[in-house]
Amino acid sequence: MTDKAKTPANEMWGGRFEARPDQILEQINASIDYDRRLATQDITASQEHARMLAAQGIISEADSAAICEGLGRVLAEIEAGEFEFSRALEDIHMNVEARLKALIGEPAGRLHTARSRNDQVATDFKLWVRARIDGDIDALSALIAALLGQAEAGADLVMPGFTHLQTAQPVTFGHHMMAYVEMFGRDRSRLVDARARMNESPLGAAALAGTSFPIDRHRTAQALGFDRPAANSLDAVSDRDFALEYLSAASICAAHLSRLAEEMVIWSSAQFQFIRLSDQWTTGSSIMPQKRNPDAAELVRAKVGRIMGALIGLMTVMKGLPLAYSKDMQEDKERVFDGADALGLSLAAMTGMVRDMRPVPDALRAAAGAAFSTATDLADWLVRRLDMPFRDAHHVTGSLVKLAETSGVDLDGLSLQQMQTVEPRITEEVFAVLGVDNSVASRVSYGGTAPDQVRAQIARWREQENA
């Protein structure tokens, strides 16, 4: 026999195997390098499983107590950094169980009664994702609070609104901030929905078919904070929708973070100077001493690639798998861990930057009135005062813009006589709508940029957040 054949097999696999796996198989098969992050969830679920087994008379109360106490010791070792993880034991489940056996002996072997690693990992992973969702919901609430603070302070502060990144119409800084409040509010609601949908316990589904032991799945589900046990054992161990839905919601949120980050990069540039970020959220250059780089915003903008990549990667893993469990599904955790880490860091960074940024009123006001931003107000005035069809008013206004552009002035720089060469019925009253303050004040429709409307939306959100 070869030396490898003489080496004992992984005893957790039972008597079917005599030899250890090839070194390459061991390397590709092991997940302990990353799934050790499930240690707390694995031990918590195992303790509740042991308590349920005793309550159902499947194992003795003494064995259950020994298992729960031993698992507590294992967790303490892990948290203290004293636990020795073994690749030969493949994953967190076998590492914990092997250490439990070393600590308490024979009772450890009863823990896996009426359970498989298939339902065990699905339970652990759900618990981990659920906890991250809770953390992300809290982080989004903090970001929304920061944006509400900026919106309140800037409710009257005029700035240019853009379409195609070209000056379109004046808006207020507060209105712009509230747009992101709405976006991140939807992100939070998606996570809340995903959490509710995923909150079913796989524990007790065993390998795929359930178990012949008289277990109480409702008890373990309740003890672990689930709403109910999953209703189909095949689906319970096969399901990774919860991970996909989390990454999907995270990807949309990351896209929103990236859009805000992009605006921060543009706004803080020398060409715009709409906002300032402090030294806490910018970096310098190794060669150009004048530089203040918005690196945090740029990195948040980049994180969306990691998060969306995690979603696409896991979708690709899951797309062709037959029921029930396949080892391919081991590839789920690294992607979710990486995506979750990137999202959590991005949310924290963006919240810090939003709290830190300071708008520059003079620059915002100057830009708000430039590039004929009140042209639509002029067209609206022609409709209201002269009873002109909007398409005709649009044409007249376009001619006036061309005249102003040729004359090298903004619309309010044209004389009344110049305007009347295009439309004789225009009166002096038109100049009242050409100022940016009048423009934003006139946008009184629900959800508009008028300061009173912005304040009403802020009040609605504050009431909602404090409910």
Question: Which residues have a catalytic role annotated?
Answer: 164, 285
Cα-Cα-Cα-Cα dihedral of 179, 180, 182, 183, to 10°?
A: 120
62: helix, coil or strand? helix
Cα-Cα-Cα-Cα dihedral of 151, 154, 155, 158, to 10°?
A: -130
The amino acid sitting at 296 is A
160: helix, coil or strand? strand
200: helix, coil or strand? strand
Strand partners, 161: 169
21 contact partners, CB below 8 Å, separation of at least 6: 10, 29
CA distances from 232 to 8, 119, 203 (A): 37, 12, 11
Buried-exposed string 175-190: b where 16+ CB fall within 10 A, e elsewhere: bbbbbbbebbbebbeb
CA distances from 122 to 119, 184, 244, 249, 439 (A): 5, 29, 13, 20, 56
Neighbours of 64 (CB within 10 A): 22
435 contact partners, CB below 8 Å, separation of at least 6: 369, 374, 412
